[in-house]
């Protein structure tokens, strides 16, 4: 079925590590995230838009600045979380491992909760590695 779609790019920096993972990513390290957020609609509003880029940017960037940017994102069972917090580090503890797939789903849900008809979020952890989430719960 035909539909219109807009894509907003959000960029931010974060640190993380993966638990229960036997590879380099079990070590604390950082990424420059490049996130593509797609909002879709079968019809345009009176302005000829799916949604305004400005409203999408303002809503999502504010959330990202408050919750992800320059923070260490960890699963809440990671024993390094509380010591880092005690040392004054900004830590965001999730109920899931901070993979690009899970971070894409979180940003999908946040965007949806803000009232946008988000269709897909693609979370580029590196220029060659992307996890995405689309539709449903
Ligand atoms: Zn990583």
Q: Domains in the chain, ordered, with CATH?
A: 4-133 (3.30.479.10)
Residue 9 three-state SS: strand
Q: Is 27 exposed, middle or buried (0-12, 13-18, 19+ CB in 10 A)?
A: exposed
Tell me how far the alpha carbon of residue 137 lies from the centroid of ligand 1, in angstroms. 24
Side-by-side strand order, sheet with 118-126:
91-94, 71-75, 4-16, 29-41, 118-126, 129-133
Tell me how far the alpha carbon of residue 27 lies from the centroid of ligand 1, in angstroms. 9
Pull the structure tokens for residue 21.
Answer: 């993972």
pTM of the shown model: 0.94
Query: Per-residue confidence of the chain (137 residues) as pLDDT tens digits?
Result: 799 999 999 999 999 999 999 999 999 999 999 999 999 999 999 999 999 999 999 999 999 999 999 999 999 999 999 999 999 999 999 999 999 999 999 999 999 999 999 999 999 999 999 999 997 54
Pull the structure tokens for residue 93.
Answer: 């503890």
Tell me how far the alpha carbon of residue 100 lies from the centroid of ligand 1, in angstroms. 8
Q: Dihedral angle at the C-alpha atoms of 106, 116, 31, 83, nearest 10 degrees?
A: -40
Tell me how far the alpha carbon of residue 25 lies from the centroid of ligand 1, in angstroms. 5
Helices (H), 1-137: 53-67, 81-86, 100-113
Tell me how far the alpha carbon of residue 102 lies from the centroid of ligand 1, in angstroms. 12
Tell me how far the alpha carbon of residue 76 lies from the centroid of ligand 1, in angstroms. 16
Tell me how far the alpha carbon of residue 52 lies from the centroid of ligand 1, in angstroms. 32
């Amino acid at each position: 079925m035909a539909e219109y779609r807009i894509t907003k790019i959000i960029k931010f920096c974060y640190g993380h590590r993966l638990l229960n993972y036997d590879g380099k990513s079990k070590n604390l390290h950082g990424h420059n995230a490049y996130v593509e957020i797609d909002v879709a609609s079968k019809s345009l509003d009176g302005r000829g838009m799916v949604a305004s880029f400005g409203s999408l940017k303002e809503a999502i960037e504010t959330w990202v600045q408050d919750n992800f940017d320059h923070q260490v994102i960890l699963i809440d069972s990671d024993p390094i979380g509380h010591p880092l917090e005690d040392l004054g580090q900004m830590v965001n503890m999730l109920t899931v491992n901070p993979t690009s797939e899970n971070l894409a789903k979180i940003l999908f849900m946040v965007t949806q909760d803000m009232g946008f008809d988000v269709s897909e979020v693609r979370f580029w952890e590196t220029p060659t590695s992307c996890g995405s989430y689309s539709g449903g719960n």
